[in-house]
Amino acid sequence: MSIETLTSAVRNIPDFPIKGIQFKDITTLFQSPEHLKELSDILYERYKDKGITKVVGIESRGFFMGPELAVRLNAGFVPIRKPGKLPYKVIEEKYTKEYGEDAIQIHEDAIDKDDVVLIHDDLLATGGTMVAAHKLVKKMNAKKIYINFLIELEALKGRALFPDDVELNTILKFEI
C-alpha cells in the first residue's frame, strides 16, 4: 500500500462544519482493515525507537489511533479532553481554533519529568488545539515531546506555530 492509496481514501466534505471548510473525513480510512493496519504500521515504525512512554491523544479523533499506537509502543495512553470530561484534578489550556474559542484539560498527574511523550491527533490545520496540548504537556515537564498528525493541511501553515525543538510529523498531506 502507498501514501497515495491512503490519501485517496480520505473523503472530502465541503462546507463542514461551517461554510468554506473542506473537511477531511478520516473515517473512510478506518473502515478498511488494510488502511487501518497501514496507518498503525507507519506510526509504529516512525516512533518505535524513540523511547515513548506516553501517547497523548486529543479528544476525540486523537482517540482513534492513539491507544493502538500506545499498545504497540508499550506505552501508556493519556487523554486530553474538553472541560468537564476528566474526573480527577486537571490543568487547562485555553486557545483559539478555526471555529472559535475553546479549552482542553489533562489530569495533573498524567505525565512526569521522566516521560517521553508523543502527542497524537488526526489533523493539523491552523494548529490551535495542538499548540494548547503541547503547552499542557510542557507544563508537566516531560523529558521529550514529539507531535504527530495523520493529516496536514499545508496551506494553513499550522506547522509554523511549533518550536524547532519539537519533532512534528504527518502521514498524509493536502494543500487544503
Report which of 172, 57, 67, 59 is spatially closest to residue 124, judged by C-alpha positions. Answer: 172
Going by C-beta distance under 8 Å and a sequence separation of 6 or more, which residues neighbour residue 41? none
pLDDT of residue 99: 67
Going by C-beta distance under 8 Å and a sequence separation of 6 or more, which residues neighbour residue 149? 120, 121, 122, 123, 124, 130, 168, 169, 170, 171
- Tens of pLDDT along the chain (176 residues) come to 799 999 999 999 999 988 988 899 999 999 999 999 999 999 999 999 999 999 999 999 999 999 999 999 999 999 999 999 999 999 999 998 666 789 999 999 999 999 999 999 999 988 999 999 999 999 999 999 999 999 999 999 999 999 888 899 999 999 88
Enzyme catalytic residues: 61, 98
Ordered domains of the chain (ranges, CATH): 50-174 (3.40.50.2020)
Query: pTM for the full model?
Result: 0.94
